[in-house]
Structure formats: C-alpha cells, structure tokens
Amino acid sequence: MGFKKLLAYQKGFDLAMDIFHLTKEFPKSEQFVLTSQMVRSSRAVCSAIAEAYRKRQYEKHFKSKVSDADSENSETQLWLDFALACDYIDEPRRKELQLKSEEIGRLLNYMINNPDKFGLK
C-alpha cells in the first residue's frame, strides 16, 4: 500500500483542493498573505503524510512527521478563522471546512497512536 491509499492523505488532499478553489475568490491583496498561507499549510498536511509513510521503518520519525501533518492541519484551521474574520468566507463554509479538518486530525492522531497498523516493523 502506498501513502495515497491512506485515508488521512485522501481527506487531506480533498481539503487542500477545497481551500485552493476557495482562495481563488479572495482579494488580490491577500495573494501573498492569507491565500498563500492557507494553501501552503493545507498542502503541507499531505506532504508530511507522504514523508511519514516513506520513513515508516523508523517509528520515531514516522510519529514526528505525522505530528508535523497535525500541526499544519491546525494551522489551516487558524487561517480559516482569519478568512471568516476578514469576511472572505461565511460561517457555514468555515464550519464545513473546519469539520473536514477535525476529521483529518482524528485520523492523524490514530496514526500516531497506532503506528504498527501502517507498516512499522
């Protein structure tokens, strides 16, 4: 099984794409600020999962990289709050994306707490 088959990766990728499409509607003045931060942190979730999976023979490294993914996921939630506060998204949309992010967080925590289920030796 490759990292693309991991549910956390798949859901993380979907959320990153939702955010990418959402931020296309943000003002141009936010292009190098909020937009780039939201896109970067949401994509970093997936990249950290991919790195963790490739280093899964080392439990500490695996957990560290999955923890990095969880940190990036939390950062994405922060940027969603800023997008709401700046009136770039409405509360229902923020809540929808927040719930997706929280589900990803639960999946990441499961990976951290059960590394043996992900091919660790």
Neighbours of 111 (CB within 10 A): 25
Q: What is the pTM of this model?
A: 0.93
CB contact at 8 A, 93 and 80: no
Helix (H, G, I), strand (E, B) or coil at 56: coil
- CB proximity list for 66: less than 8 A, separation 6 or greater: 48, 49, 52, 108, 111, 112
Residue 121 confidence (pLDDT): 60
Residue 10 lies in a domain: yes
Give a yes or no: residue 108 inside a domain: yes
Residue 30 domain-assigned (yes or no)? yes
Q: How far apart are CA 80 and CA 56, in angstroms?
A: 31
Output the domain CATH number for residue 40: 1.20.1440.60
Q: How many domains does the chain have?
A: 1
Identify whether 57 is part of a domain: yes
Q: What percent of the chain has pLDDT over 90?
A: 89
- What is the average per-residue pLDDT within 72-98? 97
Any domain includes 107:
yes
**Is residue 94 very low, low, confident or very high in pLDDT (cuts 50, 70, 90)?**
very high
Give the domain extent around 104: 3-115
Q: Residues 63-71: what's their mean pLDDT? A: 98
pLDDT at 96 over 90: yes
Residue 14 lies in a domain: yes
Residue 111 included in any domain: yes
56: in domain: yes
